[in-house]
Amino acid sequence: MASGAAQTLTAERIARALEQGDVVVHYQPCYDLRTGEMVAVEALARLFDRESGELVEPAGFLEPLEESGLVVHLDEMVLTAAAEQVAQWRQLPAGDRLCLAVNLSPADLDDPMLPARFREATEAAGLPLNAVIVELTETVLSRTGQGHEQVLAELAALGCNITLDDFGTGNASFDYLRRFRVDGVKIDRSFVQFLGSGGPHERMAESLVRFCLSLGVHVVAEGIERPQHVAALRRLGCPFGQGFLMSRPLDADALGALLRADRVPASLAHPAERAELPA
């Protein structure tokens, strides 16, 4: 299957792909930066476009799906497939504590039945709800009304971990932290990229990491691309990280193989060993 990252689909082709169930879930591992253990996988949706035979990434279909409200169906398909998949991976020795992170769009929170759907999908799969991480961007939270807060509270009551995604990029981060109970934050890669850079934005990125740590929630750094990012995050005490340096999002077969191999990624090998590698 060819990958068409740059492709943008028309609303019609997107609707057809959804109807035909041409949703493919890729998984990107999230690691404990201290031990190199894979602690979670983030489900990332792709659409298979039959016309071009290409696998299209969210940039090519998410906006029209959100505008039409059809994103709710996509997210339901992703949750169902990913819950089954992760429940299977948890049978492997290296996957016994693996968590599943899913992304939600604003329209998802419009549905008061969302918590019930989460309960059904995970129960059917045999995945405990406390192994589920719900990722929300500030855009999602900025549109929340009373009903949305109730839905979020119910998801939290079921045991889901509520995580604020792309943290630092919204214009009201502090306000959301005050208004909503969140269990975790994912520091956006636009900050992570400055870590260890020695440039003018490095201090700001470091301060953001320290601030997040001070909240006492799960902190994940996303978009780790260079060894210097890992070194800086370890020095700051950031426990979790995700990024192309460790692994790109993978199809289910490749992620399964990675789990079965049960190896610490080379990029997270002991700092002393890594120092011997050429820069």
| Residue 148 binding: pick among ligand C2E, Mg ion, none (C-beta 5-8 Å cut-off by kind) | none
Which of 223, 233, 241, 267 forms a contact with ligand C2E (CB under 6 A)? 223
Binding of ligand C2E by 44 (CB under 6 A): yes
Q: Among 90-98, 117-125, 156-164, 223-231, which window interacts with ligand C2E (CB under 6 A)?
A: 223-231
For ligand C2E, the closer CB: 170 or 243: 243
Q: How far is CA 179 from CA 144, 174, 193, in A?
A: 11, 9, 28
Binding of ligand C2E by 267 (CB under 6 A): no
Q: Say how far apart CA 59 and CA 62 lie, in whole Å.
A: 6
Alpha carbon 233 to its chain centroid, in Å, reads 18
Which of 4, 7, 14, 28 forms a contact with ligand C2E (CB under 6 A)? 28
Residue spans of beta strands (DSSP E) within the chain: 2-3, 23-32, 38-49, 54-56, 99-103, 132-136, 161-167, 184-187, 218-222, 240-242
The DSSP H or E segment spanning 146 is helix 146-157
Which residue in 238, 168, 229 sits closest to 194, CA to CA? Answer: 229
| Residue 206 binding: pick among ligand C2E, Mg ion, none (C-beta 5-8 Å cut-off by kind) | none
Q: How far is CA 25 from CA 12, 100, 167, in A?
A: 21, 12, 23
Q: How far is CA 278 from CA 36, 83, 195, 263, in A?
A: 20, 40, 20, 21
Which of 7, 80, 85, 105 forms a contact with ligand C2E (CB under 6 A)? 105
Which residue in 191, 194, 240, 198 sits closest to 219, CA to CA? Answer: 240
Binding of ligand C2E by 54 (CB under 6 A): no
Residues in contact with Mg ion by the rule CB under 5 A: 103, 135, 165-166
Q: How many residues bind ligand C2E (CB under 6 A)?
A: 27
For ligand C2E, the closer CB: 5 or 92: 5
Q: Min. distance of Cβ 4 from ligand C2E in angstroms?
A: 12
Which of 9, 30, 41, 45 forms a contact with ligand C2E (CB under 6 A)? 45
Q: Say how far apart CA 263 and CA 259 lie, in whole Å.
A: 8
Binding of ligand C2E by 249 (CB under 6 A): yes
Using CB under 6 A as the criterion, which residues of the chain lie in contact with ligand C2E when the complex forms? Answer: 28, 43-45, 57-59, 62, 71, 74-75, 78, 103-105, 135, 165-166, 189, 222-225, 242-244, 249
